[in-house]
Amino acid sequence: METTNLRELEAVIAIARRGTFRAAAIDLGMSTTALSHAISRLEAGLGVRLFNRTTRSVSLTEAGKLFVEQIAPSLHDIYGALEAVRSQRETPSGTIRINAAPFAARAILSPLVLEFLRRYPDMAVDVVTEGKMVDIVRDGFDLGVRVAGLIPSDMISVSLGQPQRHAVVGSPDYFSEHGMPLVPPDLFQHRCIRVRLPDGALFRWRFEKDGEAVQFDVQGPITLDEASLVRTALLKSIGIGYIFEQEVLDDIEAGRLVRVLEDWTPPYPGLCLYYPGRRNLSAGMRAFLAVAREVSRQSAPHAETK
């Protein structure tokens, strides 16, 4: 078999993660043609096909699935060894790869990521946003960012301090025509914008007040799967939405949207960074976590668990 390099192994993991050659090529900073040639060389050397390719889709073959299962932990160990060596540097350098939900990436970009890059100009940060949960070790990420309750139990987590909260909102025109709900059951008389979760399930609207918690499967004219689309529908007076507060605070303050049922949407534990336990964190990772803890202290006491 011809000599296989780390770049080819990275390419297999990236395509398996992203599902297309184009998206994987963007992640790897190379052209789609170069990526395709790299995979063809690897497959030729192995003597088996790793991917089923059509004009519309890419999927792992059985051999490809076995290859990814076997190589991903080994690749992680190799990068761990490289990080162990880099950790001896006094000045952090290199790239930190972060996987985050889209709203989480927006929340950490300015206070954390940009501040980190300002302090450590030799570092680079690669942020990949995905609505679904991923295995950050298998997919080659250093860190993940998710709501506290979604963090895998085998990960070390660092709270970013600020709690999360949902807001129930609609446009002034919508409420002028349909009236305002005063309690959650009133929503059954309204047009609600439904949200589909990454796993395909419909999101149930959750409310809590004075120890009473309720959930509703709302009804409405449209179902969406991304916060920016929900916001657009809200501003066009299509209906009432249940959305993360930070997505619509500017609209509420400007009067473009009106908040209702605020006393039924208390805050809950917020975002966390999480990462696998490693004996030797790189200097860059240690520096990033230090900035994260500083950001956390500025908003609320942080917690670190394992």
pLDDT (average), residues 241-248: 90
Q: What are the residue ranges of CATH 1.10.10.10 in the chain?
A: 6-84
- From-to residues of CATH 3.40.190.290 in the chain: 166-264
pLDDT band at 92 (very low <50, low <70, confident <90, very high): confident
Q: What is the pLDDT of residue 301?
A: 45
For 184-240, how does the pLDDT look when each residue is reduced to its tens digit (9 = 90+)? Answer: 999 999 999 999 887 788 999 999 998 888 998 999 999 998 888 999 999 999 999
HSE value, Cβ hemisphere, 13 Å, CA-based, for 92: 22
Lowest-pLDDT choice from 15-24, 77-86, 107-116, 125-134? 77-86
Question: Residue 1's pLDDT is what?
Answer: 44
Rounded to 5 degrees, what are φ and ψ at 273? Answer: -80, 145
What top-level class would CATH report for the domain 166-264? alpha beta
Least confident of 46-50, 159-163, 258-262: 159-163
**Domain 6-84 in this protein, CATH class:** mainly alpha
Answer CATH for 87-163+269-305 from 3.40.50.300, 3.40.50.410, 3.40.190.10, 1.25.40.10: 3.40.190.10
Q: Quote the pLDDT of residue 29.
A: 81
**Helix H or strand E segment including 59:** strand 58-60
CB 158 within 8 A of CB 291: no
Assess whether pLDDT exceeds 90 at residue 296.
no
Mean model confidence pLDDT for the chain? 86
Query: What pLDDT score was predicted for residue 303?
Result: 44
Q: Are strands 212-216 and 205-209 parallel, antiparallel or unpaired?
A: antiparallel
Q: Which ranges in the chain are annotated with CATH 3.40.190.10? A: 87-163+269-305
Q: How many CA atoms lie within 13 A of 86 on its CB side?
A: 21
Q: Is the pLDDT of residue 4 over 80?
A: no
pLDDT tens column, 275-284? 988 657 888 9
Please write the tens of the pLDDT for every residue from 169-187: 999 999 999 999 999 999 9
Q: How far apart are CA 276 and CA 282, in angstroms?
A: 13
Tell me what pLDDT residue 6 has: 80
256: CB partners within 8 A, 6+ apart: 171, 172, 235
Distance CA 153, CA 132 (A): 17
Q: Using only the alpha carbons of the chain, give its radius of gyration.
A: 23
Given a cut of 80, is residue 78 above it in pLDDT? Answer: no
More confident call, 55 vs 35? 35
Average pLDDT over residues 98-126: 91
Could you tell me the CA-to-CA distances from 170 to 1, 20, 124, 224, 239 in Å, in that order? 62, 37, 40, 16, 6
Average the pLDDT over 54-63 and give the result. 84
Looking up tokens 């192994």 gives 9
